[in-house]
Amino acid sequence: MFQRFVVPAARLLMAAGLVMWPAAASAWEMLSYQDDPVDLAVDESLDITAASVEQQGGRLLFTIALRGDVPASLPGADDSQTYLWYVDADEDPSTGQNHGAVGSEFNVRAVVGETYGGGWVDITGGMPGGGVGTVTVEGSVVFISVWMDQIGNAASFNWRCATFKVIDGNYTFGNSDTQVSNAVTLPYTPPATVTVTTPILQLCPSGPATGQLELEIRDANGALLPPEEHFVAYRSTNPDVATVDADGLVTAIVPPAEHWQTPYVDVTVDGVMAGNSAVIRVNAFDPGVTHRQTAASNVTFVMPDVIEGVDLAALTAQYEVVHATDAAFLAQAIGVGPDRTDWTTQYLVLDVATDPVTSVCGASGNPVRLGWLWGQPQHNTCYIINDPANRRPQWFVMWHELGHNFTCSCNAFNMFLWTPSPQHNTTYGEGLASLGALWSWRMAMDYPSDLGAAARADIDGHFCDYWGNFQDALAAYKANGRDYATIDADVLDGILLEMWGTYGVKCWFDLFSTFLPSQEAIPVAMDSVEKQATWFVAAMSASVGEDLRELFVDEYGFPIDEDAWPEIMSVVQGRVDARDFYSVGVGGRRRWW
pLDDT tens digits for 353-393?
A: 999 999 999 999 999 999 999 999 999 999 999 999 999 99
Q: What are the C-alpha distances in Å from 404 to residues 144, 148, 254? A: 38, 34, 30
- Rounded to whole angstroms, the Cα distance separating 411 from 399 reads 21
Amino acid sitting at position 185: T
Check: CB of residue 63 under 8 Å from CB of residue 136: no
Q: Would you mind telling me the total number of residues written for the chain in this entry?
A: 593
pLDDT band at 342 (very low <50, low <70, confident <90, very high): low
CB atoms within 10 A of CB 75: 9
pLDDT band at 229 (very low <50, low <70, confident <90, very high): confident
Check: CB of residue 283 under 8 Å from CB of residue 203: yes
**What pLDDT sits at residue 22?**
30
- Rounded to whole angstroms, the Cα distance separating 192 from 217 reads 8
Comparing C-alpha atoms, which of 323, 294, 572 is closest to residue 440? Answer: 323
- What mean pLDDT is predicted for residues 108-130? 97
Q: Up-side HSE of residue 155: CA atoms within 13 Å toward CB?
A: 1
CB atoms within 10 A of CB 349: 26
- Rounded to whole angstroms, the Cα distance separating 181 from 102 reads 10
pLDDT band at 70 (very low <50, low <70, confident <90, very high): very high
Query: CA-based angle 360:363:366, to the nearest 5?
Result: 130
pLDDT band at 447 (very low <50, low <70, confident <90, very high): confident
The predicted model scores a pTM of 0.85
- Rounded to whole angstroms, the Cα distance separating 588 from 252 reads 52
Domains in the chain: ranges and CATH: 9-184 (no CATH), 193-389 (2.60.40.1080), 411-577 (no CATH)
Contacts of 155 (CB under 8 A, 6+ apart): 184, 185
**What pLDDT sits at residue 339?**
72
Q: Up-side HSE of residue 225: CA atoms within 13 Å toward CB?
A: 25
Say whether the peptide bond before residue 75 is cis (omega within 30 degrees of 0). no
| Extended strands (E) in 221-291 | 224-225, 232-236, 242-244, 249-252, 264-269, 272-273, 278-282
Reduced DSSP (H G I as helix, E B as strand, rest coil) percent helix, strand, coil of the chain, to 5: 30, 30, 40
Can you give the three-state secondary structure of 13-58, one letter per residue? EEECCEEECCHHHCCCEEEEEEECCCCCCCCCCCCEEEEEEEEECC
Computed over its alpha carbons, how large is the radius of gyration of the chain?
A: 29
Comparing C-alpha atoms, which of 516, 528, 539 is closest to residue 563? Answer: 528
Amino acid sitting at position 42: V
**What b/e string do you get for 5-33 counting C-beta neighbours within 10 Å, with b at 16 or more?**
eeeeeebbeeeeeebebeeebbebeebbb
Q: What are the C-alpha distances in Å from 115 to residues 79, 107, 164? A: 8, 20, 16
* Average pLDDT, rounded, for the chain: 92
Q: Which of 15-19, 172-176, 443-447 has the highest mean pLDDT?
A: 172-176
pLDDT band at 277 (very low <50, low <70, confident <90, very high): very high
Of 11-25, 86-100, 104-118, 270-284, the poorest mean pLDDT is in 11-25
Write down the H helix ranges in 50-165: none
- Rounded to whole angstroms, the Cα distance separating 188 from 427 reads 48
- What mean pLDDT is predicted for residues 194-200? 98
